[in-house]
């Protein structure tokens, strides 16, 4: 206990109250009552995110390439009709009235053509289209995963920044109490003006950090709203992490089968392989059957009606096309070479991505545990410095420094816990299992095969199907 110049017992009477208030409220974040879960955010993003819905529409458009390839096997029917009015006037002598004749001829025909053999081009085009559809499904898979990564990132960013903001608000309150205590001790002569100035400076720095935390939270909330489709409410502070592979090697094995970037690259290779056959087919004969029926007549003058029916087989054999066909074959081969190399590069990138995601998750988990221990130690140190201040063995600056260390430790813990959750979902995405199906979301799953089966064999109709 220290006695001031006027006999006050400030530390005895007021110091313990200040310390009790600090320890009771130091850096506590309010608990949520009814929190929106990360699962809720996933559901909303899956159902409403425009980027994901756009990619679904793009895949449905790609499905039509298969329908167009199938259509080449079907007959083509055309109808032509013509009606004319002809006036003819003949004069042998300008002084003599000429002879005028009028005629109104007409004709109509219907022609049906069926391709019998096209050098394998139709089959090759179908294979190209199917491979592109499968690649498109992989791209949709990758888009879905990216939307979910954005969702969990934006969700945890809001959780993190709200916690950091609350920590800074509490820190401001504590700094105000520290400043009030310092001013009271200065008034009774226990400390100098320097100690008060240090408390004032630390409060100003705390206010600046508070403003920065508010700006960060605003940006995070906007990112969440853009991704999920609505402003965040009260969010769970510690959402559950997904089930993950037991080892890095297991993760790589799963990724080799499911990673969407890798599967899309493999399908692109398959499409270019079929493209070689398509190019070769340009040099092969085409055989088709053609049947037509025509009728013609005339309404005035010499009236007549005629009918004509023709059935023919047409064979077209390309002989020489200026070398363009050979160039197309060489080009298709090189495109296939490029796609094959791109697939190998995608495989290597997938292995690298899985390893990096695995190490990031390991590091973030270890960081969270280390930061928890740091917070515990910082809390003990802060309490000890407060007690030592009361007996005069510590200064106001020591308390302010230790308070800042505790704030930094708690902020670091909040950040590492955010990173741990995001890293776990990033690892799940790296292996290709961050999907609505794998997460067992309570939604009607979008099935890309449904549109494919409905549309590719439709011979008529312009109606499309929804998302």
The structural domains of the chain, ordered by start, are 26-72+118-283+318-455 (1.20.1600.10)
Q: Which residue has the higher pLDDT, 27 or 123?
A: 123
Distance CA(99)–CA(88), nearest Å, equals 8
Kindly list the distances between the CA atom of residue 346 and the CA atoms of 128, 343, 349, 350, in Å, as whole numbers in the listed order. Answer: 20, 5, 5, 6
Residue 241 pLDDT class (50, 70, 90 cuts)? confident
User: Is residue 21 pLDDT above 50, yes or no?
Assistant: no
User: Is residue 432 pLDDT above 50, yes or no?
Assistant: yes
3-state helix, strand, coil in the chain (%, to 5): 65, 15, 25
Could you give the count of Cα atoms lying within 13 Å of 349 in the half-sphere of its Cβ?
A: 12
Residue partners of 136: CB distance under 8 A and separation at least 6:
58, 59, 62, 448
Residue partners of 370: CB distance under 8 A and separation at least 6:
none
Residues of the chain with pLDDT > 90, as a percent, come to: 74
Interval 333-363: pLDDT, tens: 999 999 999 999 999 999 999 999 999 999 9
Residue partners of 299: CB distance under 8 A and separation at least 6:
104, 105, 106
Distance of CA 28 to the CA centre of its chain: 35
Kindly list the distances between the CA atom of residue 280 and the CA atoms of 122, 126, 317, 328, 332, in Å, as whole numbers in the listed order. Answer: 12, 15, 13, 8, 9
Interval 172-188: pLDDT, tens: 999 999 899 899 989 98
Residue 9 pLDDT class (50, 70, 90 cuts)? very low
User: What pLDDT was estimated at residue 254?
Assistant: 96
Residue partners of 386: CB distance under 8 A and separation at least 6:
19, 22, 23, 399
Inter-residue contact 130 to 66 (CB < 8 Å): yes
Q: What is the mean pLDDT of the chain?
A: 89
Residues of the chain with pLDDT > 70, as a percent, come to: 89
Distance CA(426)–CA(417), nearest Å, equals 14
394 by DSSP, 3-state: which?
Answer: coil
Distance of CA 441 to the CA centre of its chain: 17
Interval 24-70: pLDDT, tens: 444 444 444 456 899 999 999 999 999 999 999 999 999 999 999 99
Sign of CA dihedral 385, 390, 395, 397: positive
User: What pLDDT was estimated at residue 339?
Assistant: 97
Distance CA(266)–CA(283), nearest Å, equals 28
Distance CA(105)–CA(84), nearest Å, equals 6
The token pair that represents 237 in the structure block: 């502070």
> Which among 212-226, 291-305, 385-399 has the top mean pLDDT?
212-226
Inter-residue contact 282 to 121 (CB < 8 Å): yes
Instruction: Provide φ and ψ at 96, rounded to 5°.
Output: -105, 140
């Amino acid at each position: 206990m220290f006695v001031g110049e006027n006999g006050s017992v400030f530390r005895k009477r007021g110091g313990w109250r200040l310390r009790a208030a600090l320890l009771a409220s130091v850096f506590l974040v309010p608990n949520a009552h009814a929190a929106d879960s990360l699962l809720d955010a996933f559901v909303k993003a899956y159902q409403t995110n425009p980027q994901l819905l756009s990619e679904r529409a793009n895949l449905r458009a790609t499905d039509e390439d298969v329908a167009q390839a199938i259509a080449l096997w079907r007959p083509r029917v055309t109808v032509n009709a013509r009606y004319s009015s002809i006036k003819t006037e003949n004069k042998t002598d300008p002084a003599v009235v000429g002879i005028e004749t009028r005629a109104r001829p007409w004709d109509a025909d219907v022609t049906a053509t069926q391709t019998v053999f096209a050098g394998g081009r139709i089959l090759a085009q179908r294979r190209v289209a199917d491979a592109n559809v499968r690649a498109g499904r992989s791209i949709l898979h990758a888009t879905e995963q990216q939307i979910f990564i954005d969702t969990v990132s934006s969700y945890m960013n809001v959780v993190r920044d709200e916690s950091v903001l609350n920590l800074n608000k509490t820190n401001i309150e504590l700094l105000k109490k520290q400043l009030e205590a310092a001013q009271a001790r200065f008034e009774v002569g226990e400390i100098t003006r320097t100690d008060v100035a240090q408390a004032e400076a630390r409060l100003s720095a705390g206010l600046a950090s508070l403003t920065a935390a508010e700006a960060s939270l605003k940006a995070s909330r906007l990112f969440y709203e853009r991704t999920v489709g609505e402003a965040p409410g009260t969010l769970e502070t510690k959402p559950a992490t997904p089930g993950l592979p037991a080892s890095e090697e297991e993760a790589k094995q799963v990724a080799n089968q499911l990673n969407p970037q890798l599967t899309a690259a493999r399908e692109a290779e398959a499409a270019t392989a079929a493209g070689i056959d398509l190019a070769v087919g340009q040099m092969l004969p085409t055989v088709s059957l053609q049947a037509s029926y025509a009728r013609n007549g005339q309404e005035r003058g010499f009236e007549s009606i005629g009918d004509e029916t023709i059935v023919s087989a047409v064979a077209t054999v390309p002989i020489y096309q200026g070398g363009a066909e050979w160039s197309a074959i060489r080009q298709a081969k090189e495109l296939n070479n490029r796609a094959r190399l791109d697939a190998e590069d995608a495989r290597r990138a997938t292995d690298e991505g899985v390893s990096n995601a695995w190490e990031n998750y390991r590091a973030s988990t270890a960081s969270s545990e280390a930061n928890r221990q740091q917070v515990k130690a910082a809390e003990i140190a802060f309490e000890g410095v407060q007690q030592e201040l009361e007996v005069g063995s510590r200064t106001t600056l020591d308390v302010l420094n230790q308070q800042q260390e505790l704030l930094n430790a708690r902020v670091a813990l909040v950040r590492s816990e955010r990173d741990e959750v995001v890293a776990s979902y990033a690892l799940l995405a790296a292996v290709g299992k961050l999907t609505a199906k794998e997460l067992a979301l309570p939604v009607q799953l979008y099935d890309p095969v449904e549109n494919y089966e409905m549309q590719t064999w439709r011979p008529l109709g312009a109606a499309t199907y929804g998302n």
